[in-house]
Structure 1
Amino acid sequence: MTQTNEHRNSHKNLATSFPFSPHERPSIQIKRKVNLSIKRKASSSMKDCVFSLHQNSNLNILYAKNNIRIYTTDDKKSISGYLSLLQNSITGQISIRWVPNQLINDSDISNQHNNNEEEGELYLTKLRSYVFSINIAEMAYLHCHNKCDSSKEHSLVFVAGDGVHFTPIYFPPGGHLFTFLSNMESGLWPHYRLEPPLYTQK
C-alpha cells in the first residue's frame, strides 16, 4: 500500500521570467558521443563528462544527494545514483539531474569488466542511457508516495503538462524527500509555487 500526495505546479509571468518554450518536451536522457573505453584514460573522460553535468559556473546547486534510486524500464532493476537540483543563475530555470553512481565511480566498472573491453563499453553505454534531466518549468504535477512497508521509502513522480509520467525517484526514509521539495519550492518562488504549498503562510 502507498499513501499519495499530489502537488500542482502553478506559475505566473512565465514568459517574462523564464524565456524558454513551454512546448518542448523535457528530455529524460542526455546523449553525448564519446569514444568509450574501459581503459583508464577513457574512464577518466567519462567521469569528467558526468561531473560536467552537475558543475557549471551558471548553475547553483539547491540540493544534492547520492544513493537516490530509480528502477530501469527494461529489466526493472534498481540503480542508485546522484541526484541534484540545479538553478540557472541567469534564467532562473530549475532542473533536476540524475546520474548512476557507477558512471561516477568508474573503478567499479573497471573491476567488473577488467578483461573484456567490448563488454565494458556496452555496459557504459547502457548506464549512460539511464541519465536523465527534467525541466521543472514544464512539469504540471508532482506525485509523492509513502510506502507502508518495512522500507518506509518515499517516491516522487513528475508529470509533464502533456501527461507524460517520468521515472519515479526513490528517496530513503528520514525526511530526504521533504528536504528536496522544500529546497525546490524555495527556488521556485516567486515565479512558481506548489499547490498545496509545503508551508502555510501566516
Structure 2
Amino acid sequence: MILEVLQLVPHPDTPAKAVPSVLCSLSWQDAGHWVAGFIVGAPSEALALPTPTRPARTDGLWQRTCFELFLRDPESGAYLEFNFSPSGEWAAYRFDGYRAGMRPLELADPWITSTDRDQFNAGMGAHLAALGLDPASIGTLLSTPMPEIPGAPAAPAQYVLNAHLEDPALGAAKTWQLGISAVIEEADGTKSYWALAHPEGKPDFHADACFALEMAMSR
C-alpha cells in the first residue's frame, strides 16, 4: 500500500471565501485498486453540495462541487478523467490527447462515501448491493448515531469525500502522470478551482501544467 497526501492550490483568478484548504490523500494497492480521499477545510454547511442520490454515471458533474482525478500516459499523451460528486454520482472518460477523442471509459462503478450521512448511506447501500448483499441488513447500524466520548476533542470542521476505484481497466503496471483537482462551490455561490498546479490563464484541469505528479504503479 502506497499513500500520498497532497495539497491542492486555488486558481489565483478564482479565490475561495470560506474554504482555506483542499487536500487529497491518494492510496493504492496496485494499478487497478485506488482510493482517493478529498478533504475540504470547511464544514458541509459552508458548501453548496448537490443532493445525495442513487449512484450513477452522470455527465456535467463539474458544474457544481466536484472532485476529479486524471491519469495520463507520458508516452502517448492519452489520459483518463474521473469525476466524483458529493451526490454519489460519478463519470469516467478516455481522451486521446489534450481534450481530443473524448469518450466514456468502461469502468466498474466506483464506491463513493462522504461525511454527509445521507450520501454515505446511499453509497454504502449501492456498494453492498453490488457485492450481492442486502443493504437492509445493516440499515440499523447506518441509522444509529455514533456515541459521544466524554473528553474527546470535537470533530474537525471539514467535509470529506472518499472514492474507491477497483477495476483492472485502470491499466497495467506503468508510470502515470497524475492531475488532481476540485471545483468547490460555496453556499453563497462562490466557486473556486483547485489543482496541484495551474497553467497561465483561466482554470483548465486538462492542461499540461496540471499533470504535476508522476507515480509508478505496480501489480
Q: Same fold (TM over 0.5)?
A: no
TM-score by length of 2: 0.28
TM-score by length of 1: 0.29
Q: Specify which structure has the higher proportion of helix.
A: 1
